Chains A and B, each alone.
Chain A
Amino acid sequence: ILNVEQSPQSLHVQEGDSTNFTCSFPSSNFYALHWYRWETAKSPEALFVMTLNGDEKKKGRISATLNTKEGYSYLYIKGSQPEDSATYLCAPFHAGNNRKLIWGLGTSLAVNP
């Protein structure tokens, strides 16, 4: 069973603060890494899908990097806003893992105005 770890488990920041979270996963047989944003009372929404070592993706104030050799990805939020409050999930896709994403438990972010 693959182990996907996300840290921290939860985070409270002030509006305007920049923050980052980590997703760690086994580096062997890696195919792709997904990041999703899950607001309370809504459904998960895709942010990024990254496949290559060194990939960087950006969407507004949110960006992500990928290191497939060491098995981690960082998600950065610049100048956090209250509307960024959500749980951020990562899910790697590995070969030979019955073709499915393995989801982390997420980092819960609360941005105080």
Chain B
Amino acid sequence: DSGVTQTPKHLITATGQRVTLRCSPRSGDLSVYWYQQSLDQGLQFLIQYYNGEERAKGNILERFSAQQFPDLHSELNLSSLELGDSALYFCASSVGGGRNEKLFFGSGTQLSVL
């Protein structure tokens, strides 16, 4: 158990809908990362937060947004969903977000857009 909690584990929804994925980092970790894993694709970095502030941004679509709250949990909002958004979404956390800090991954949310 990595100590990172993601909910829900599975989500099935329809095109055009909006969903929210939630992540609670390990106790003491200030940095949260969101990744997307699609079939035949490597882990695609979406966005990183550090202590409530956005630190780095990857190939996150404009339809997607995220935030980190004062209690350090984070939410990833996906709107106007398309079939291609079906993927496994991982959250990871690290202590300070430094380049040589190990990431601890949650178990992921499997999103299916029908």
Contact = CB atoms under 8 A, between A and B. Distances in A.
A46 B102 contact: yes
Contact of B55 (A31, A32, A99, A106): A99
Interface string B79-95: 00000000000101000
A43 B108 contact: yes
Interface residues of B, number: 23
Nearest to B46: A100
A13 interface: no
A31 B99 contact: yes
A101 B90 CA distance: 14
A49 B100 contact: yes
B42 A104 contact: yes
B102 A44 contact: no
Most buried by B among A43, A98, A101: A43
Most buried by B among A34, A44, A93, A106: A44
A45 B42 contact: no
A51 interface: yes
A38 B104 CA distance: 12
B84 to A, nearest CB: 19
Contacts of A100: 45, 48, 56, 58
A45 B106 CA distance: 10
Contacts of B103: 34, 36, 44, 46, 101
Interface string B48-63: 1000000111100000
Given A31-B100, A44-B90, A103-B43, 18 more contacts: A32-B99, A43-B105, A43-B107, A44-B92, A46-B104, A49-B102, A51-B99, A51-B100, A89-B42, A93-B100, A100-B45, A100-B48, A100-B58, A101-B45, A101-B103, A102-B45, A105-B42, A106-B42
Interface of A: 31-32, 34, 36, 42-46, 49, 51, 89, 91, 93, 98-106
21 contacts: A31-B99, A34-B102, A43-B90, A43-B105, A43-B106, A43-B108, A44-B90, A44-B103, A44-B105, A46-B104, A49-B102, A51-B100, A89-B42, A89-B43, A93-B100, A98-B57, A99-B99, A103-B45, A105-B41, A105-B42, A106-B42
